[in-house]
Amino acid sequence: MQHWSMYWQTSGVLNSFAEGDANQGYTGAIQKFWDQSFDSIPQGAIIVDAGCGNGALALLAYDFGRANQKDFVIEGLDAAEINPVKQFEKQPAVAKKLKTIKFHSATPIAAAPYTAESVDAVISQFAFEYAEQGPALAKVSEILKPGGKLITMSHHASSKLVKDSKVGVEVLTAILEESPLFQQADLIIDLAMQAIPQLGDEGWAKYSHNRILSQSTKWMMDSLLQRFDKPEQQTYVKDAIARVARVLQAMNGSNLEQARKQLTYDYHVLADHKKRLDEQLQSAYAKKDITGLKKAATKVGLKLEAEPFEIEGEVFGWTITAEKQ
């Protein structure tokens, strides 16, 4: 869970798309689905965003409630360590809204701190599927009022998003576990620590061992770019190469320790990204998983329905609604 905690503690990260192009909340078809869902929830309802991250979905509920005089009472919980208000302290307008929402850090869905039949709706965007399904469904059923609903948008095993994650895992595995790129960069820094105090920065630039290692590193980068030449692969490989290149280009005799720390940091950023992608692949629902989910929900008194959700004709996820009987 540490890899998620580190992710949510990145300033300005609102949702789990932040490593792509949509890191400022949910818009378009996703927002339309949630607005329709919020419209079905009664005025004054207590809403819990399960797996809330830094509050993207909770903020959607807040905005809809304010715009439509719904007066929702909104809370959020996440198994990771979160502090949404702190992460958005440099964005006062967002922080002001987040302060109206009570967040529960390091709190899995199965440990939701609510009394029986006290919650009107549990909502979740790309989060509920990560939880252990049996205990999570049991807890949701316990805390929902009769007629209350669990509403989620969850990962679909056939979605473009999940397919892209498979590509990401493949590329990052090659870079971090098969290629010696990061080890080679660390070797260059280690050699620089020994050589620069004697040669100086100018001497280091001409040093034959540095030239050989630098050429070898460039060859590794070029090989990775050639191996992963498809557009969907290039996003991942270019990011990793750019991280290593920035460290080596900025390195000089006055910042060698900082260069090593930055290289280590970048390695762990990529390794944590890979872990999150791996978990997404493991948690995405296939059709057979939905069948099992319906049976598990029935056992705890929930009537569950699920439909594929499409954006521009492509499967994006599952929309799931489970009503407490």
Give the model confidence (pLDDT) of 27-80 as tens digits: 899 999 999 999 999 999 999 999 999 999 999 999 999 999 999 999 999 999
pLDDT of 17 reads 58
DSSP string, 76-104: EE-SS---HHHHTTTSHHHHHHHTTSEEE
Question: Residue 34, Cα to own-chain centre: how many angstroms?
Answer: 19
pLDDT of 21 reads 41
Those residues with Cβ within 8 angstroms of residue 85's Cβ, 6 or more apart along the chain or in another chain: 95, 98, 99, 103
Phi-psi region of 177 (alpha: psi -120 to 50; beta: other; left: phi over 0): alpha
Interstrand relation of 73-77 and 119-125 (parallel, antiparallel or unpaired): unpaired
- The residue-averaged pLDDT of 109-131 equals 97
Residue keyed to tokens 């869970």: 1
The confidence band for 14, taking pLDDT boundaries of 50, 70 and 90, is confident
Give the amino acid at 267: Y
Reply yes or no on whether the pLDDT at 18 is more than 60: no
pLDDT of 11 reads 60
Separation between Cα atoms, residue 1 and residue 7, nearest integer Å: 10
The confidence band for 24, taking pLDDT boundaries of 50, 70 and 90, is low
The confidence band for 15, taking pLDDT boundaries of 50, 70 and 90, is confident
* Nearest CA-CA partner of 126 in 274, 270, 17, 21: 17
Q: Are 189 and 259 in contact (CB under 8 A)?
A: yes
Separation between Cα atoms, residue 181 and residue 183, nearest integer Å: 6
Give the model confidence (pLDDT) of 131-171 as tens digits: 999 999 999 999 999 999 999 999 999 999 999 999 999 99
Give the amino acid at 54: N
pLDDT of 249 reads 97
Separation between Cα atoms, residue 273 and residue 56, nearest integer Å: 19
Tokens of 79: 């198994």
pLDDT of 26 reads 84
The confidence band for 25, taking pLDDT boundaries of 50, 70 and 90, is low
Those residues with Cβ within 8 angstroms of residue 16's Cβ, 6 or more apart along the chain or in another chain: 7, 53, 126, 276
Separation between Cα atoms, residue 67 and residue 258, nearest integer Å: 48
Tokens of 38: 């919020």
- The residue-averaged pLDDT of 204-216 equals 97
What integer best gives the mean pLDDT of the chain?
Answer: 95
pTM: predicted TM-score of the whole model, two decimal places: 0.92
Q: Phi and psi dihedrals of 3, rounded to 5?
A: -65, -30
Tokens of 76: 């959020």
Containing H/E element for 282?
Answer: helix 256-283
Give the amino acid at 93: A
Nearest-10 Cα torsion for 18, 21, 27, 33 = -70
E-assigned strands of the chain?
46-50, 73-77, 102-104, 119-125, 144-155, 302-311, 314-324
Reply yes or no on whether the pLDDT at 22 is more than 50: no
Separation between Cα atoms, residue 115 and residue 39, nearest integer Å: 25
pLDDT of 13 reads 79
- Coil, helix or strand for 133? helix
